Amino acid sequence: MDAKRTGIAVVTGAGSGIGRAVAVELLRAGWSVALAGRRVETLEETAALVPEGAALAVRTDVSRPEDVTALFTATVERFGRVDLLFNNAGTFGPGGVPVEELSYDAWRHVVDTNLNGAFLCAQAAYRRMKEQQPQGGRIINNGSISAHTPRPHSVAYTATKHALTGLTKSLSLDGRPYGIAVGQIDIGNAATDMTARMQTGALQANGSVAPEPVMDVADVARTVRHMAELPLEANVQFATVLATAMPYVGRG
């Protein structure tokens, strides 16, 4: 088997941020990519960044089982199989809300998107990868450094990212007999719209507010591509990519 591989990828949350950067990186490397997200217009903007790329835009709410089924059906109808799922769609939820003030609806929205959506997409990918010939494929879950260490007032986001780690481990174990490799990338302070506030001031564990360094989202995309292009006999189980000087390692 070649040292690097390309094929058919599904990228959720592909209309912006990390999802867009990863989708563009894969398209430029020769992958065919199904772009999933809530807004078709932003998905088409992503596809237009690589005019020669093989992209398919599919409006998808990952928290809805019927949308996820339609996404993978459309992908197989267009491209024939699924070799990679980048399980990226997610939301932080309302920022800066103390746990005692967080509404159940807000909690449920984060759980439905970050955890239930990731499960539904992984389940759909797993089914395709198990049934197709040649069998197998790869799933990469987008965790977060919050899968290890929370920020203040982030209970819903942090809980779902911890849960994603369990999802990753269980899928990795269950996928072994079928050539399905599953890993997770934990990202800290990639420069996207979601992290724009980090550069002007973010609440710290000691109660202070301080600006934080960020890194180019392209560095995340290159890391995902490296994980994706390994032969299925090799797997990056967990990778952490973060802005070098952000207050994460040690005591800040």
- Residue-wise pLDDT tens for the chain (252 aa)? 344 678 999 999 999 999 999 999 999 999 999 999 999 999 999 999 998 889 999 999 999 999 999 999 999 999 999 999 999 999 988 877 899 999 999 999 999 999 999 999 999 999 999 999 999 999 999 999 988 888 878 899 999 999 999 999 999 999 999 999 999 999 988 877 766 677 677 777 777 887 778 889 999 999 999 999 999 999 999 999 999 988 888 766
Q: Which residue has the tokens 């003030």?
A: 101
Residue 179: which CATH number?
3.40.50.720
251 in any annotated domain: no
Is 114 a domain residue? yes
Domain membership of residue 59 (yes or no) is yes
82, 75 contact by CB (below 8 A): yes
Q: Assign residue 223 a region: left if phi > 0, alpha if psi is -120 to 50, beta otherwise?
A: alpha
- Report yes or no on 16 lying in a domain: yes
Query: 32: domain range?
Result: 8-242
Alpha-carbon distance of 37 to 121, in angstroms, equals: 12
Residue 246 DSSP one-character state: S
Q: Over the Cα atoms of the chain, what is R_g?
A: 18
Tokens matching residue 66: 């019927």
Q: How far is CA 18 from CA 88, 98, 128, 142, 147, in A?
A: 8, 27, 25, 9, 17
Angle at 108 between CA 102 and CA 112, to 5 degrees: 145
CA distance 41 to 46: 9
Measured in whole angstroms, the distance separating CA 95 from the mean position of its chain's CA atoms is 20
Q: Strand pairing partners for 247?
A: none
Cβ-count burial of 177 within 10 angstroms (0-12 exposed, 13-18 middle, 19+ buried)?
exposed
How many domains does one find in the chain?
1
Q: Half-sphere exposure (CA, 13 Å, Cβ side) for 220?
A: 32
Q: Is 3 a domain residue?
A: no
Q: Which of the residues are catalytic?
A: 157
**Distance between CA 97 and CA 99 in Å, rounded?**
6
Half-sphere exposure of 238 (CA within 13 A, CB side): 13
Cα–Cα distance for residue pair 175/171, rounded to 1 Å: 6
